[in-house]
Amino acid sequence: MAPKTSKASSRRAGKSSISIWAAQCGKCYKWRKISTQEEYEEIRSKFNEEPFHCENKSNVSCEDPADLEYDSSRTWVIDKPNEPKTPTGFKRELRLRRDNSKMDAYYFTPSGKTLRSTTDVSTFLQQNPEFSELSTKDFSFTTPHIMDDTIPSTSTK
């Protein structure tokens, strides 16, 4: 199994569906909890150039027990590596659809406006010259892959 970054998703829809951020060590393949979304995005954005290892976390080594075990106690989603970090001042949320069929990505601007697509981002950036240092490439609506073997059997997917 190749090292991955992942998010364990809660089973509820609406609001951000992500309850735990995690990365898999490229040496021992143990899952390590990542404290914040910002830290997780930093790891993910550089993953191909700087694979995650247990030693990247303070006082942690491959000898320590895993923080999480991959199992069906929660719905797991696997992210694509090297996606851009959320621009400063913006917030990115991923929401699991009620039927567990997929996730949707949303960005929230510093003023609270919801951006649902690259077209929304482009329009927002054109209308707000104070963000001229940003481009649509700084935003990703790519959503993580839902791991089918962790979807609840009661799901309608």
pLDDT in tens, 102-112: 999 999 999 99
The pLDDT of residue 11: 37
Indicate which CATH number applies to the domain containing 15: 3.30.890.10
- Domain with 28 in it: 5-150
DSSP string, the chain: ----EEEEEPS--SS--EEEEEEE-TTT--EEEES-HHHHHHHHHTTTTS---GGGSTT--TTSPPSB--STTSEEEEPPTTPPPPPTT-EEEEEE-TTSS-EEEEEE-TT--EE-SHHHHHHHHHH-GGGTT--GGG-----PEE-GGGS-TT---
In a domain, residue 60? The reply is: yes
Lowest mean pLDDT, pick from 5-14, 33-42, 51-60, 123-132:
5-14
Mean of the per-residue pLDDT values of the chain: 89
In a domain, residue 110? The reply is: yes
pLDDT in tens, 23-46: 999 999 999 999 999 999 999 999
In a domain, residue 156? The reply is: no
Structurally, the chain folds into a number of domains equal to: 1
In a domain, residue 17? The reply is: yes
The pLDDT of residue 156: 57
The pLDDT of residue 12: 37
In a domain, residue 140? The reply is: yes
The pLDDT of residue 8: 47
Which has more confidence, 8 or 1?
8
Q: Is the overall model pTM greater than 0.75, yes or no?
A: yes
The pLDDT of residue 157: 54
Q: What percent of the chain has pLDDT over 70?
A: 88
In a domain, residue 67? The reply is: yes
In a domain, residue 36? The reply is: yes
In a domain, residue 157? The reply is: no
- Is pLDDT above 80 for 16? no
User: Mean pLDDT throughout 70-90?
Assistant: 93
